[in-house]
Each structure stands twice: as structure tokens, then as C-alpha cells.
Chains A and B, each alone.
Chain A
């Protein structure tokens, strides 16, 4: 008798689960986005048609719906930094990519940002970086914003570092940064100060050319 009861309970498996999941998936695939024409994109960015094709194929393969949500973005970015927590920095990156503040990155945003970062002029790159640091988009970088960014970067390192990560390391880093960048010592860094200071630094200038050949 026990066996009968047992077999009965095992027959009514998890049919519930599959039905719920199907409903969820149905909702998600409603959102779909197609990018504008290839010619337009070629005109607006510094990529050739071929490069855009390669980029889009990869993008479409990973995101068939055509948009990347912030969650997905964070997950993807975290895969490259397994040691630490990349979600904070990924959040700031997301906002920098999502210029229209729509909450999701479309292919155009993706390609625009890549175009600046990989093929843009020095000024454009520095401007993009300034926008990244300027979290509230008010045109000034103050110490709190910078501390947030630097702390997010240090979070990506994880716990096990050499030398051991001290708690005030981000703060020291930010102080050094402001020492260098804030020319008029007013506590905030403006775009011009930023660009000027970076152009004075040989290291930064040189390293900006590093990522040209990524695509």
C-alpha cells in the first residue's frame, strides 16, 4: 500500500513549474528592438560596415531581444572579474552607456560608446570618461562622486590582494587624484580642468592609445 501511495505522489511531478515559467518567458520576449539602418550607423560612428556587422552579430547572438538590461549588463561584466564584486562599477558603466537614460542599452548606444572609446579622438575619450565619473551629470566631479567610483574599482579587485587592501586606500587615491586634477582648488573638477590635467600627463596620453586595436 505504501508503494501505491509512493508511486502516485511521484507521478504528479512538477507540471506546475513548467507552466509558470512559460508565462514568464512570454512576457519577457515582448520587448524587442531593432537598430536603425547600417548606413546611418556607419555615418554616425567611426566603424566600417564590416565592423558593425561583426559587432551586431555578436550582440544579437547574446541578446536576441535587442536590448541589454542593467541586470544582464552587471552579470556580463562580473564574468570578467571573478575575484571581486564588479556590480557597482558596472552600474556606473551602464549609466555612461545608456545616454538616453532609458534603463536599457540598445545596440546604437553600445556602438556609439564603443566608437568613442576605441576610435574617438583624445578629447572625446576624456569627455566620455568625465561623464562616467560625473555620476549626477551636473558638469562637476566632486569628491563624493570620485570616491564612489574609486571604491567601485577597488571592489573589483576583491578581498585577496597584495598588498593588503586598506580601508582608506580609495580615499587616498581620490585625494591624490584631486591633487593632480583640481587646478583651482575649489573642491570640484570641471571638464576643462580634467582634460587639461590629463593632457599634461604623459602616461595617460600614452595609455589612451592602448585599446585602439580591440576590434
Chain B
């Protein structure tokens, strides 16, 4: 059951009568409600399908198209109804949102069409109910990835070159799309061949060859034919260096190119050779030099420019980074636990291989991954029991994230396949793509930011003000509260500027919502100094922002939703506290030496307090 707060506000205000005999101060005047009291039925015609609803229903969300005065633009005088030239099927769902307070995502509808409708009617997708939120998010993510693929296909399409391209641009294009010109294709295959040659040479030079005449021991081929291998290596490195320098020259943005993964791999692949040339041939450093040669194996990664499958794998791993991280973390935890247990279980035995806990790590890893080398084996009964538990749990821990990674990979792989098919189609049909990415839609909402000070907010504000008057205390926030506690304990005299703005600023305010009124009146007067800092009294109103974007109407819908229904998507937390400051004159101060609060001060206060209110937003969202 969604409790519509707006409906219960009259009851809450009526219940305030119960405070009246207790009130210490006079109650503030109620807000003037100019809206007409009578409720009427509105007719909404959406592409021929006529909908009827109460005006009150639409007024529940004043910051949407239908709830605000924007719908007057669509009013048809002749037929006395609101006409929208949109999809009536979708409109059903939109209207149900007004009626029930919950927005549902129809599964059979296209996600983009749905998003467009929401944007048109000024509704933020974040308020989709829990029942449909997951489906919505999945479809949206899928769609975004598909669109990203499309733009990538777009960019790398074999469209003809722009007419006035410099040789540099042509060169870059030749490198990125080898299919464009014959020269590029030749170069592409030549580099591919030399990568293969280099990798094979690296592998073969460690194979033991028959020793030359006169020696007994087997020699690795690299040392026997070292001149040949050196020549081969030099040739490969020359080609790679040439290719890298050409790419660097042709790249449109050199910094970006140098930071890209492929260029790093290129550098790492050719660096050891040059370092080896530079370094002298003495025994001390040649050990370090040998380690550097290991990096030559990274040349194999250069193949990823040639192979799409490799790229897909890399992309999959990147997109499953969190799952992999979780797997790693849980494995580490399990390893440490089991290693400790095994070590202490096997500590007693005389010839135990479990010499220390780090030594037991090896046993645990080998057991949990079900390898079971057998170099370390428990001999005590306790050790065997724990060892079997270890191997059983290893199976479970590793099995958990694997399906997620697998499904991710298959999804990305299928998308790639689809992209290839589409590319083939385009080449045949000579179609022009449009950029489907509407960046506005993907980023923060395009919904209307009509900041209506609704009657609901007026009245809620009045209600809270009445409570303040009853108890003769005021609402404040955590920061000010701690400040006040400090000042009271230190013993400074805080002279209050008792500015009771009985007009409540109701007329002064332009926007604002459910109130959190803070009166910053710390006009502290130090006992022994004549300088008094009057910060003026500022009356500030916050908007109750739940975890949403800057649309105040979220207060209503969020209050409508059940407390645990508010969930974020994409981890975006746009907390905004729209703070409106009204400078009120510090009247009735006992000491007339206080300087009047100048106008800029409220502005400064507003800025400094902006961050403080993130606390409040957090607090309120616990509703």
C-alpha cells in the first residue's frame, strides 16, 4: 500500500489542533490557498484514445508536464480537452503512475521508446518501482552497449575519406582500418607475420639443441645459433619500432595514443632490445637484462590488433572486474583461513612439510583449485579432515562468480557477432547511420525543472512551523546543533536576533519544499572584545531531496513510495539541497552595537552550508 502523503496532509494539519492549548507562542498564519477547491474531471486525448481523470490526480506531481501549467499548451479549446500526439499505449502507464504513485516498466515495450515518453512527460526514470527496476536497468544497459557498438562501427566504417585530408590523417586511417588501401593491408599482414616470427623465435631459442662438436652438455639453440637469432630479433624490433613511430606520428592526439593500452604494449615489447644494446656485457647486470627479455613475450599481445576475439576477451574481463575482484577477495580470505588451520593441525608431526603459514598457502591454493600436486600432504587425522573441507569449499567458492563472467562474455560476443553482420549489411546497402546516441538522454534527466512551490509544500511548512511554535524550539541541522552545543559549553554569550518573520517568507520565496529551517543567528559576542560578528539571521529552506536528481517533485513521489522502495541506479547520488536564503533583519537585539547583516552574507552562508545539507539529505532519506 502506497501511502500518499498529499492525501493525508489535511488530516495531519487537523490533528495539529491538539497542540494548540499547549502552544507557548502564537501560531503562524496559515498559507493562503488560491487554488480552486472543487475537483473536476479532465479529459486527455492521446492520439484519439480518450482518458479521463480527476484534476487532483494529475496535481499530485506538480513538476511533471501533466501536473504543471505546461499542459495548458496542449489544451484544445474547440474540444475542451488536452491533446497529445503520442503513443496511447505508453500513456496508460504514465497515467497509472499518477493514479497509484508507482511507475511500472512494460516489458514488451522498447526501452528507448519508453525513455522518450518519460522524458516528454517530465518523469524521471529513477522512480520506477522495485518490481520493474531491475528489468529496466538491464534493458537500458544492453541498449547502451549496443549503441556504443554502433557508434564504434560508425567510426570505423569504410566510408570514403573526407576530401581534404592530410597525409597524416590518411596514414592514421590506414593504421586503424587496414582494409582501406592495399598498402595498409600489406603492412598489416607483414607486421602480423613478424610478430609471429618474433614470438616463435623467443620460444625456440630456449629449446636444447645438439651440442656442437667437442661439448657434451646440451646447449639451448639460442646460444648455439646466437647470431642468427640476433639478426632475426633485430629485424623484428626494427619493424616494430618503425610501426610504433609511424603510429605516433599519425595519431590525432598523441597524448591519448601514448596512454592507450596498445601503445604501452608496443613500447614494452621493444624496450628490452634497446636496453640490451645499451647495457655493457658484464655478468652483474646481465642477470637483470635476462629478466627484461621476458617482456618480449608481450609481443604476443600485439596480436589483439589483429584479432577481434582477443579484444572481446579483454573487454569481458574489464566489464567483469567487480566479479573478478570479489572472487579474488573471497579466495584470499578462504586461503588464509585454511592455511592457518592446516598449519596448526599439522604442527605436531615431525617431518611435516607445513613449515609455516605462508608455506601452507601453497597447499591451500593447490587444494582449493582441485589441482592436488601432492608435494604437500597432511598426515594427521585433523589435517586430513580440514584438508577435505578445504577442497570441497574450494569448488564452491570458485564456482560462484564463474556463471556471471560466462554470461557477460556470451552477451558481448553475441553483440559483436551482430555488429559484424550489420557492418556487412551496410557495406552492401550503402546506408548512412544516424547517431543514435542522444547524449542528453543518457546523462542526467531532461525532465522539466519546473520549480513549483506547490500548495502541499506551503501547508507542510506551515504545519512544521506550528510544531515549532508549540514547543518554542526550532528545527536545526546536525552541524548547527553541534556548534550550539560547543558554544554553550564554552560559555559564550550568544545573543539571539529574535527575528520572528511572521510573514514566513511565504511571499518572498520562489521555490522550496518541505522545510528544514535553520536559523543561523550565532551572533557571538566575546566577553572581552567589542567586535561582534553578526552573521545575520538567515532563514533557509531546504528541499527534501531523496536520492534523485534536481527535480523537487521527487519529494512527493518518494514520499509516496514505500520507504524501502527508493533505490538508486548506477550508483549515482545526486544530492542537491536547493537552499533559499532570505535575509531577515536582526531585530530586537539587546545590543545595538551589532552591525546590520549585509546582503552578501546570506549568500556566503548559503554556499558554506551547501555541503552540510548532504547530511540532512542522508537523514531524511532514511524515511
Spell out A's residues near B (CB within 8 Å). 1-3, 5-7, 9-10, 50, 54, 57-59, 61-64, 72, 75-83, 93, 96, 110, 113-114, 117-118, 125-126, 128-129, 132-133, 149-150, 153-154, 156-165, 169, 173, 176-177, 181, 194, 198, 203-204, 206-208, 210-211, 213-215
Contact, CB under 8 Å: B17 / A128: yes
Q: Give A10 to B460 CA distance when docked, in angstroms.
A: 47
User: In the complex, are the beta carbons of B467 and A157 less than 8 A apart?
Assistant: yes
Q: Are A62 and B474 in contact, with the CB atoms below 8 A?
A: no
Using A117-B14, A211-B17 as known contacts, say yes or no to A3 and B399 having CB atoms under 8 A apart. Answer: yes
Contact present for A161 and B21 (CB under 8 Å): no
By secondary structure, the B interface counts as helix
Is the beta-carbon distance between B478 and A204 smaller than 8 angstroms?
no
Q: Given contacts A62-B2, A79-B5, A93-B18, are A160 and B26 in contact (CB under 8 A)?
A: no
Please judge, given known A-B contacts A80-B463, A173-B24, whether A62 and B1 are in contact too, CB under 8 Å.
Answer: yes
Residue of A nearest to B619 (CB): A82
Query: In the complex the two chains form, is B484's CB within 8 Å of A163's CB?
Result: yes
Is A117 a contact partner of B3 (Cβ separation < 8 A)?
A: no
Q: A118 to B419, alpha carbons, bound, how many Å? A: 67
5 contacts between A and B (CB under 8 A): A82-B620, A110-B11, A163-B484, A169-B471, A194-B21
B5's partner among A7, A80, A207 (CB-CB below 8 A) is A80
A194 contacts across to B, CB distance below 8 A:
21
Q: Per a CB cutoff under 8 Å, which of A58, A75, A162, A213 touches B473? A: A162
| Choice from B4, B38, B399, B519 contacting A61 with Cβ under 8 Å | B4
- What separation, in Å, do the CA atoms of A57 and B56 have in the docked complex? 10
Contacting residues, chain A, for B406 (C-beta < 8 A): 3
How far is B468's CA from A114's CA once the two chains are assembled, in angstroms?
23
8 closest pairs, A vs B, by CB? Answer: A58-B7, A2-B399, A6-B399, A160-B481, A117-B14, A207-B27, A161-B473, A162-B476
Chain B residues within an 8 Å CB radius of A57 = 54, 56
Is there a chain A Cβ closer than 8 Å to B403's Cβ? yes
CB-based contact A156/B23 at 8 Å: no
> Which residues of chain B from 593 to 623 have a CB within 8 Å of any chain A CB?
619-620, 623
Binary interface encoding of chain B residues 384-422 relative to chain A, with 1 for a CB under 8 A from any of its CBs, else 0: 000000000001101111110010000000000000000
Across the interface, do B398 and A2 meet the contact criterion of CB distance under 8 Å?
yes
Q: Are A150 and B22 in contact (CB under 8 A)?
A: yes
Q: What is the CB-to-nearest-CB distance from A183 to chain B, in angstroms, rounded to a whole number?
A: 14
| B519 / chain A contacts, CB cutoff of 8 Å | 162
Query: In this assembly, does B39 line the interface, its C-beta being within 8 Å of a C-beta of chain A?
Result: yes
Q: A154 to B471, Cβ gap below 8 A?
A: yes
Is B467 a contact partner of A162 (Cβ separation < 8 A)? no
Does B445 lie at the interface of the complex (its beta carbon under 8 Å from any beta carbon of A)?
no
CB–CB A206/B5 < 8 A:
no
A157-B4 contact given A10-B403, A77-B12, A194-B21, CB 8 Å threshold: no
User: B335 in the interface, Cβ–Cβ < 8 Å?
Assistant: no
Given contacts A160-B480, A177-B21, 4 further A-B contacts (CB under 8 A): A1-B395, A114-B10, A117-B15, A210-B29
How many residues from B make CB contacts under 8 Å with A? 72
The interface centre, meaning the residue of A114, A153, A157 with most chain B CB atoms within 10 A of its CB, is: A157
List B contacts of A211 (CB < 8 A): 13-14, 16-17, 30
Known: A156-B467, A160-B481, A162-B476. A79 touches B559 (CB 8 A): yes
Could you tell me which residues of chain B, from 467 to 492, have a CB within 8 Å of some CB in chain A?
467-468, 470-471, 473-478, 480-481, 484-485, 488
Q: Which residues of the partner chain B approach A82 to less than 8 Å between Cβ atoms?
A: 514, 544, 619-620, 623
User: Which A-chain residue is minimally distant from B54 (CB atoms)?
Assistant: A57
CB neighbours (8 Å) of A125 from chain B are: 17
- Nearest residue (CB) in A for B99 is A61
User: Does B475 lie within 8 Å of A203, measured CB to CB?
Assistant: no
| Cα(A63)–Cα(B11), bound, Å | 14
Chain A nearest CB from B481 CB (Å) reads 4
Chain B residue numbers with a CB within 8 Å of A9 are 399
Cβ-closest chain B residue relative to A202: B26
Q: Which of A80, A110, A159 has the most CB of B within 10 A?
A: A80
Taking CB as reference atom, which chain A residue is nearest B563?
A75
CA distance A75 to B474 in the complex (A): 23
Measured in the bound complex, the distance between the Cα atoms of B99 and A177 in whole Å is: 45
Q: In the bound complex, how far is the Cα of B2 from the Cα of A5, in angstroms?
A: 40
CA of A169 to CA of B471, assembled, Å: 9
Residues of B near A77 (CB, < 8 A) are: 8, 12, 15
Answer whether residue B46 sits at the interface, using C-beta atoms and an 8 A cutoff.
no
A9 to B401 alpha-carbon distance, docked (Å): 12
State which of A2, A79, A154 has its C-beta within 8 Å of the C-beta of B402: A2
Asked if B22 contacts A177 (CB within 8 A), the reply is: yes
The complex places the Cα of A139 from the Cα of B349 at a distance, in Å, of 84
Query: Chain B nearest CB: distance from A195 CB in Å?
Result: 10
**Residue numbers in A under 8 Å from B19 (CB-CB):** 153
**Inter-subunit contact B7/A62 (CB<8 Å):** yes
Chain B residues with Cβ below 8 Å from A1 are: 395
B237 CB to closest chain A CB, in angstroms?
A: 41
B533-549 vs A, Cβ < 8 Å mask (1 yes, 0 no): 00000000000100000
Which of the residues A54, A96, A129, A177 comes within 8 Å of B56, measured between beta carbons? Answer: A54
Q: A54-B56, A82-B623, A162-B474 are in contact. Are A129 and B21 (CB under 8 A)?
A: yes
Question: In this assembly, does B245 line the interface, its C-beta being within 8 Å of a C-beta of chain A?
Answer: no
The residue among A117, A118, A206 with the most chain B CB atoms within 10 A of its own CB is A117
Knowing A6-B402, A160-B481, A162-B484, the reply to whether A80 touches B17 (Cβ < 8 A) is no
Which residue of B33, B395, B403, B467 contacts A213 across the interface (Cβ within 8 Å)? B33
* B window 25-71: CB within 8 A of A: 26-27, 29-30, 33, 37-39, 54, 56
Cβ contacts under 8 Å, B17 to chain A: 117, 125, 128-129, 208, 211
Residues of B within 8 A of A80 (CB): 5, 8-9, 12, 460, 463-464
B22, B24, B27: the one contacting A210 at CB < 8 Å is B27
Residues of B within 8 A of A160 (CB): 475-478, 480-481
Q: Once the chains are docked, how many angstroms separate the CA of A129 from the CA of B20? A: 9
The residues of A that contact B399 with a CB separation of less than 8 Å are 2-3, 5-6, 9
Decide if B480 touches A162 in the complex (CB within 8 Å): yes
Contacting residues, chain A, for B477 (C-beta < 8 A): 160
Closest to A198 in B: B21
Contact assessment for A64 and B1 in the assembled complex, using a CB-CB cutoff below 8 Å = yes
